[in-house]
A and B are shown apart, each in its own frame.
Chain A
Amino acid sequence: MSAIPDAKNPGWAARLPLTGKVGLGLVIFWIATAIAGPWLAPYDPGAFAHQDVFAGIGAAHWLGSDYLGRDVLSRVLSGARYSVGLAAAAAIAASTTGTGMALLAAVSPRWLDEVLSRFMDTLISIPSKIFSLVLVAAVGSSLPLLFLIATLIYIPGAYRIARSQAVNLAQMDYVQVARTRGEGAAYIAIREILPNMIHPMLADFGLRFVFIVLLLSGLSFLGLGVQPPDADLGSLVRENISGLGEGAPAILVPALAIATLTVGVNLLIDALPRRRGSKEG
């Protein structure tokens, strides 16, 4: 990656490489769709607007109709809200909780750090899909529960990244100075350490968002995520799976929609100037 000195300079977007600009465009597009989608929908997403099922692309129904003859474009526009909104909320919750616990670990006595880290290492050893299946089986899958499940599963990853940052920063001279000055642990964590780990944590937040979108849409695809009558993009793929043999837009469009969202975020993060962090988690 070409080294751009400071991402905060005005015009940072203009200096992104082409892939980064594509990513940024896709991200803005999906945020706008998530906010305005339901109002832009040409039909009621629940209405049987087309006399044919699995109709192809046409003038009245741009993206055809689904397995019940509903308008695919309207359903995608309404479904994006769940996919983007739920995942964004869970990613924010996971990143802030993980960062907060990491800061706590960095300024706490050693035993607390070790207990917390051991606990997080345990949770991280459970593959995310498997963990989500166990959690859904145990507590169910209403929207608030899905939010909690996704948050819980991705806290340990955020914690691990944040802790490695925070522990290193805690050794820095200026933190030692603050400590000698007699500052309290909370001041050191929030005013000295946190501001210096914001950038890596933002990149990590983006990755976490991608993981959560994929996890939640995967669960919905399996019929274990967002439940009818609500439908996120994964549910749309699931309910139209019988159109696969005809190559109906009803199944391809929502799948492509998820892909453009997650690929867009990935391209954008990759193009942002940063040190190479560790992936996965």
Chain B
Amino acid sequence: MSAASPATGQSGTTFLLTLIVRRLASGLLTLFLVALVVFIVSGLLPGDAAQEMLGQSATPEAVAALRQQMGLDQPASIRFVRWLAGLLGGDPGFSMVANMPVADIIASRLPNSLILAGLSTLVAVPMALTIGIASALRQGGRLDRALNTATLSMVAVPEFLIATIAVLIFAVELRWLPSIALVPASGTFLDLLRALAMPVLSLSVIVVAQMARMTRAAIIAQLGLPYVEMARLKGVAPARLVLVHVLPNAIAPIVNAMALSLSYLLGGAVIVETIFNYPGLASLMVNAVTSRDMPLLQACAMIFCGAYLLLVLVADIVAILANPRLRNR
């Protein structure tokens, strides 16, 4: 982060606000550029929706007429602005494939994705913090090395292996859980939990490893600093040292790790959603790829990119707020 030197006489709060506003502006610029990339890339191939709707046998006149009706005869820059305005206004276009507004399709899937991501967060964050802190406390010890090898391996394991093993254990061998996450329309809360258990478990396992590794690294980076030695010499117990002295100082990198991992829970859930037939947004996007439903694909991509940028933004703002040096200027 490039913190510019503040003008003299500025109060701490104003300075903080300036930093945050600048960070917000940079985030918005990135989002705009991402939208531009998504728009350009998804229009790479020749042929357009009008042609596709009418099929090969359509007369050129009919295609031209429909194209004009859909606004496809406009130059790309105008279509981009129109698309962007639609996105911001909550109307990301019309899906030719499903013959309904993209907003309606997404509205039916988004809550499912949010429930899955939310539950996985609730499971994964405490686990990751515990593992990260435990290995940092025993740095170099047997527990740390075992956890290090375990998380290092988990980071590289393909998601479908984790999901497959979960199915084999809990659905095939133990028969505790259904192997497909069919969320019953009129089920009880318990039914919902049972249906979600394995997707949540698989996703948690995937993100915990990354989060735990970064938590450990953040804490260990602090352990070498003079204030930690001071506290140690003062006779502070190791657990208290980490929880009370070190953790507040490591909050920024830890929140950053959380943000990166949590952004994974939305878009990265593609494979887990597919294996368990979970009706989330990510599997919707895969369907959009298969059916070449470009408006839907673009909207999904922008939701995932927006969520990612938002999480990173929040992490950066937390980092700015958590830094007492910036606060007490």
- Interface residues of A, Cβ cutoff 8 Å to B: 19, 118, 121-123, 125-127, 129-130, 133-139, 210, 214, 217-218, 221-224, 234, 237, 241, 244-247, 251-252, 255-256, 258-259, 262-263, 265-267, 270, 276, 279-280
Set A126, A210, A270, A279: member contacting B38, Cβ < 8 A: A126
Asked if B318 is an interface residue, CB under 8 A from chain A, the answer is no
Give the docked Cα–Cα distance between A129 and B271 (Å): 10
Q: Hey, which chain A residues are within 8 Å of B297, CB to CB?
A: 133-134, 137
Q: Would you give the shortest CB distance from B117 to chain A, in whole angstroms?
A: 13
Q: B72 interface residue, CB < 8 Å from A? A: no
Query: B33: nearest residue on chain A (CB-CB)?
Result: A122
Residue numbers in B under 8 Å from A136 (CB-CB)? 289
Return 30 A-B CB contacts under 8 Å, by A number.
A122-B30, A122-B37, A125-B30, A125-B308, A126-B34, A127-B263, A130-B301, A130-B305, A133-B285, A133-B289, A137-B292, A138-B41, A218-B158, A218-B270, A222-B271, A234-B160, A247-B173, A252-B164, A252-B168, A255-B160, A255-B164, A258-B158, A259-B156, A259-B158, A263-B157, A266-B155, A267-B152, A267-B153, A270-B152, A276-B217
Residue of A nearest to B266 (CB): A127
Most buried by A among B158, B161, B268, B275: B158
The answer to whether the Cβ of B274 comes within 8 Å of any Cβ in the partner chain is: yes
Whether the pair A222, B304 counts as a contact (CB closer than 8 A) is no
Residues in A neighbouring B44, C-beta threshold 8 A: 138-139
Report the minimum CB–CB distance from A161 to chain B (whole Å).
Answer: 16
Residues of A within 8 Å of B116, CB to CB, are none
Taking a contact as CB atoms under 8 Å apart, the answer to whether A137 and B288 are in contact is yes
User: Shortest beta-carbon distance, A172 to chain B, in Å?
Assistant: 22
Asked if residues B153 and A263 are in contact (CB atoms below 8 Å), the reply is: yes
Per-residue CB contact flags for chain B residues 279-319 toward chain A (1 = under 8 Å, else 0) read 00000011011101010011011001100110010000000
Q: Is the CB of A266 within 8 A of B152?
A: yes
Are A129 and B164 in contact, with the CB atoms below 8 A? no
Chain B residue total in the interface (Cβ 8 A): 56
Give chain A nearest CB distance to B284 CB in angstroms: 11
Indicate whether A221 sits within 8 Å of B271 (C-beta atoms), given known contacts A137-B289, A137-B294.
Answer: yes
Contacts A245-B179, A266-B155; A126 near B305 (Cβ below 8 A): yes
Q: Report whether B289 and A224 are in contact in the complex, using a CB–CB cutoff of 8 Å.
A: yes
Q: Decide yes or no: A133 and B160 within 8 Å by CB, A126-B38, A127-B263 being known contacts.
A: no
Q: Which residues of A contact B300 (CB under 8 A)?
A: 130
Since A134-B301, A247-B173 are in contact, a sample of 6 more A-B pairs with Cβ atoms closer than 8 Å, ordered by chain A residue number, is: A123-B37, A126-B38, A126-B305, A214-B158, A252-B164, A267-B149
Asked if residues A237 and B160 are in contact (CB atoms below 8 Å), the reply is yes
Contact status B37-A126, CB under 8 Å: yes
Residues in A neighbouring B305, C-beta threshold 8 A: 125-127, 130
Is residue B42 within 8 Å, beta carbon to beta carbon, of the partner chain?
yes
List the B residue with the shortest CB-CB distance to A221: B160
- Residues on B with beta carbons closer than 8 Å to the beta carbon of A265: 156
Chain B hits for A138, CB < 8 A:
41-45
**Could you say which of A122, A129, A247, A270 contacts B267, with CB atoms under 8 Å apart?**
A129
What separation, in Å, do the CA atoms of A267 and B151 have in the docked complex?
A: 11
Please give the distance in Å from A239's CB to the nearest CB on chain B. 12
Tell me the complex Cα distance, A136–B294, Å.
Answer: 12
Counting chain A CB atoms within 10 Å of each CB, the highest count among B43, B148, B260, B271 belongs to B271
Max chain B Cβ within 10 angstroms of own Cβ: one of A133, A135, A263: A133
Do residues B304 and A130 form an inter-chain contact, with CB atoms below 8 A?
yes
Do A218 and B286 touch across chains, with their CB atoms under 8 A apart?
no
Interface positions of B from 62 to 87, Cβ below 8 Å from A:
none
Alpha-carbon distance A42/B271, docked complex (angstroms): 32
The answer to whether A127 and B267 touch across the interface, beta carbons within 8 angstroms, is yes
The answer, among B43, B155, B158, B164, for a CB contact under 8 Å with A244, is B164
Cβ contact within 8 Å between B267 and A134: no
